[in-house]
């Protein structure tokens, strides 16, 4: 599955020379326990194929420093600009952000809408991630979606693997026209609304992949982003690694991954997931 290992080894050596020793590394992954903005400013241009990430939403979670809204938007603009520089010319960023309140103006405005003129890339499409679990509300609609914005550096040249993420939920799979199948045998073209279960908590309902991280992404979601918007052996970066879901998805799908996480306890969660996924990969390779 993995090829071009020399390219990733070279990148690891360069990054360690610029950033110091990583928290953890193996043949496929590199994890630094440090502020991603500090790290980004020391790195050379054009080293990632794809960025898949979800930064803090500025809503008071345990892992974030809550800022004034204007300051938060400026911070987002700075790290996104650096991220753009580090992407290859045909690179892309899949950016997940939630909602925030603007006093007297909005209960829950999508944060990406406040960044529309701050991202030096082309907004190719908005993906709506729809999920069933969440807070139940009595005085307004219960929120059940978040946005994932697909940005590209070059609107005419980017990676999109349609066949890798085709929708298997086909209502009439045997439908034919003039004797020929009407539906691609791999599945139908996916829409921009993805129904993927959220990671749940609680006695008797906690997701099997649940970790101690309070805002963990489902592996199904990140797998789909990895498969759809990168190629095998690409180098993917997650500058806000959190619980390590991007690492696990990359290992499962033959991509290299670099991650940054400022909290050491979250780095420990990521390391455990990397080691478990790498062990499963080795076992699968031996079984072939």
pLDDT digits (tens, 9 = 90+) for 93-137: 999 988 888 889 998 888 988 998 999 999 999 999 999 877 888
Question: Which residue, among 259, 217, 216, 270, has the nearest Cα to 235 in the 3D structure?
Answer: 259
The answer to whether the beta carbons of residues 176 and 185 sit under 8 Å apart is no
**pLDDT tens-digit map of 12-24:** 999 999 999 999 9
3-state SS of 68-102 is CHHHHHHHHHHHHHHHHHHEEEEEEEEEEECEEEE
Mean pLDDT of 42-54: 97
pLDDT, residue 168, reads 80
**pLDDT tens-digit map of 152-188:** 999 999 999 999 999 887 666 666 667 676 677 788 8
Residue 10 in this model has a pLDDT that exceeds 70: yes
Q: What CATH number does the domain containing 29 carry? A: 3.40.50.150
**pLDDT tens-digit map of 188-198:** 899 999 999 88
Average pLDDT, the chain: 88
Domain span at 258: 5-287
**pLDDT tens-digit map of 77-89:** 999 999 999 999 9
**How many C-beta neighbours within 10 Å does residue 73 have?**
17
Q: How many domains does the chain have?
A: 1
Rounded CA-CA distance 278/251 in Å is 7
């Amino acid at each position: 599955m993995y090829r071009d290992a020399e390219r990733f080894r070279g990148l690891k050596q360069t990054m360690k020379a610029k950033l110091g020793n990583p928290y953890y590394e193996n043949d496929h992954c590199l994890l630094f326990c440090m502020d991603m903005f500090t790290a980004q400013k020391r790195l050379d241009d054009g080293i990632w194929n794809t960025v898949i990430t979800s930064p803090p939403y500025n809503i008071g979670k345990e892992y974030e420093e809550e800022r004034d809204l204007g300051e938060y938007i400026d911070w987002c603009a700075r790290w996104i600009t650096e991220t753009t520089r580090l992407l290859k010319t045909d690179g892309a960023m899949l950016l997940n952000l939630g909602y925030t309140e603007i006093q007297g103006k909005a209960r829950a405005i999508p944060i990406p809408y406040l960044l529309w003129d701050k991202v030096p890339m082309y907004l190719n499409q908005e993906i709506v991630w729809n999920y069933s679990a969440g807070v139940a509300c009595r005085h307004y609609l219960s929120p059940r979606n978040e946005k994932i914005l697909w940005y590209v550096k070059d609107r005419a040249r980017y990676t999109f693997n349609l066949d890798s993420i085709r929708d298997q939920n086909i209502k009439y799979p045997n439908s034919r026209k003039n004797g020929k199948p009407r539906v691609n045998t791999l599945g139908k073209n996916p829409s921009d609304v993805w129904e993927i279960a959220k990671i749940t908590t609680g006695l008797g309902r906690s997701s099997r992949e649940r970790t101690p991280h309070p805002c963990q992404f489902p592996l199904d979601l990140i797998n789909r982003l990895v498969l759809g918007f990168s190629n095998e052996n690409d180098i993917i970066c997650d500058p806000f690694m959190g619980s390590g879901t991007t690492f696990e998805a990359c290992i499962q799908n033959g991509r290299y991954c670099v991650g940054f996480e400022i909290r050491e306890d979250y780095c420990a969660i990521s390391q455990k997931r990397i080691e478990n996924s790498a062990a499963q990969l080795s076992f699968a390779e031996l079984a072939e």
